[in-house]
Structure 1
Amino acid sequence: MNRNRRTLRWTVPALAATALLGSLTLAVPAPAAAFDRPAAVSTTDAATADGPRPRVAAPKISRDEEIRRAEVWLKEKVPYSQEKTWKDGYRQDCSGFVSMTLGLPKPGPNTVALKNDGWTKPIKMSELRRGDLVIKANSSSSNERHVVIFDGWKDGRNSYLAYEQAGHVGTRHTEHTYGLEKGDGYAAYRPVNLSD
């Protein structure tokens, strides 16, 4: 019986210490990197009148700032890669480039997410304004999906200038007809974080 009292005398304080230390472990603050991300938004089938909400809130950005950011990669001649990220933390593919220009979370949503996850809303090709996007996301192959940043009409609206990050060439400012030819799979979208 004397032995049971000694065991009990050490067991109770040991259990209390374990409980106390266990609760302290839960109180450890989150890593500093967690505070660098934008505040989360509810994603449980959340939707607005314009479609689903993005997974996180993107900061508002002007069309001029978006184009200024596109010019940075153009001047730096960023090479194309679906695997690598540039020194700014964004993927070096077309959707990573667009994500960088819009200030979206790094390394950037892919082309399908830009279209479907609330980062953009569909518009008509005739409504395109500088900084809007032309996206082809309905393909089973990532090599056939693409997104460009509209920069203005040319040739009586038979073509337009666009910024893009393209395979074998990297960042460029060039003329396109994507979305103007029936059945090519491209459509116009307006980023929801543009401040207009």
Structure 2
Amino acid sequence: MTQEKSKQTASDSLFSTAHRTASPIVIGHRTNRDQVIERAKSWLDPPVPYSQEKLHENKYGIYRTDCSGFVSMAWGIPGAPSNKHGGLDTIGLAQVGFEVAKRRLRAGDALLCIEGTRLTRHVTLFADWADRRCSTYWAFEQCGGTGTVYRRVVYPYEKAAFRYMPFRYSLIEN
């Protein structure tokens, strides 16, 4: 059952820091790539509306309905009530994994941008390469104006002004 609830702003997240840690922080539980994709698909039908201030509940828990709340849900990182913010923010996600080489991206990994402000930082969930040159990929994404989508994206993220890094959750099993 879908239910939206109000929450405090994402900017007061307990997990926000200015820098990533040298080794990932362990938050959540082991998951596999099929589970991550299954969880991501759960927000597609119907698409969950985007908001940095509301929460969405389904069988996987209660999560903030912005991009980082969506990836927190897909990766199985605790949402509300254990994390009253409904998942990690984008900088928090950078603390629970590590950067990988572009060619090593696999389903369930992410393209993560931690530069800028909470209004410009973003994360998208990688599904598969859309071409052999690895210049476009299929992604699950939670974005303003559309909510949850599955779409083709130009690598690393369209013509973004900020750097997007290929990223892997430390508790995902290959």
TM range, normalised to the smaller chain? 0.7 to 0.9
Once the two structures are aligned, what percentage of the paired residues are identical? 35
Once the 2 structures are TM-superposed, how far is the Cα of residue 183 of structure 1 from its aligned partner? 6.3
Once the 2 structures are TM-superposed, how far is the Cα of residue 86 of structure 1 from its aligned partner? 0.5
What is the identity, as a one-letter code, of the residue corresponding to 2:24?
R
Once the 2 structures are TM-superposed, how far is the Cα of residue 96 of structure 1 from its aligned partner? 0.2
Find out whether 1:53 has 2:29 as its counterpart: no
SS in 1 for 2:173: coil
Once the 2 structures are TM-superposed, how far is the Cα of residue 182 of structure 1 from its aligned partner? 9.1
Find out whether 1:190 has 2:161 as its counterpart: no
Which residue of 1 is the match for residue 83 of structure 2? none
- For the residues of structure 1 that align with 2:104 and 2:161, how far apart are their CA atoms? 19
Q: Deviations over 1:145-169 (max 9, x none)?
A: 1101111111321100000100010
**Count of residues in Structure 1 that have an aligned counterpart in Structure 2:** 143
Report the structure, 1 or 2, having the larger strand content: 2
Decide whether the 8 Å contact of 2:112 with 2:123 is kept in 1: yes
Once the 2 structures are TM-superposed, how far is the Cα of residue 114 of structure 1 from its aligned partner? 0.6
Decide whether the 8 Å contact of 1:131 with 1:150 is kept in 2: yes
What is the identity, as a one-letter code, of the residue corresponding to 1:186?
Y
- For the residues of structure 2 that align with 1:158 and 1:178, how far apart are their CA atoms? 5
- For the residues of structure 2 that align with 1:57 and 1:183, how far apart are their CA atoms? 30
| Alignment equivalent of 1:145, drawn from 115, 121, 126 | 121
Q: Compared with structure 1, are the counterparts of its residues 159 and 72 closer, same or farther at alpha carbon in structure 2 (3 Å cutoff)?
A: same
SS in 2 for 1:59: coil
Find out whether 1:72 has 2:51 as its counterpart: no
Which residue of 2 is the match for residue 170 of structure 1? 147
Q: Deviations over 1:89-124 (max 9, x none)?
A: 100000000000111021111001111x2x111111
Stretches of 4+ moved more than 6 A in 1? 180-183
Which residue of 1 is the match for residue 70 of structure 2? 97
TM-score, normalised to structure 2, is 0.76
- For the residues of structure 2 that align with 1:171 and 1:182, how far apart are their CA atoms? 19
Gaps of 5+ in 1: 1-46
TM-score, normalised to structure 1, is 0.68
Decide whether the 8 Å contact of 2:36 with 2:75 is kept in 1: yes
- For the residues of structure 2 that align with 1:103 and 1:171, how far apart are their CA atoms? 17
Relative contact order, higher structure (CA 8 A, sep 6+): 2
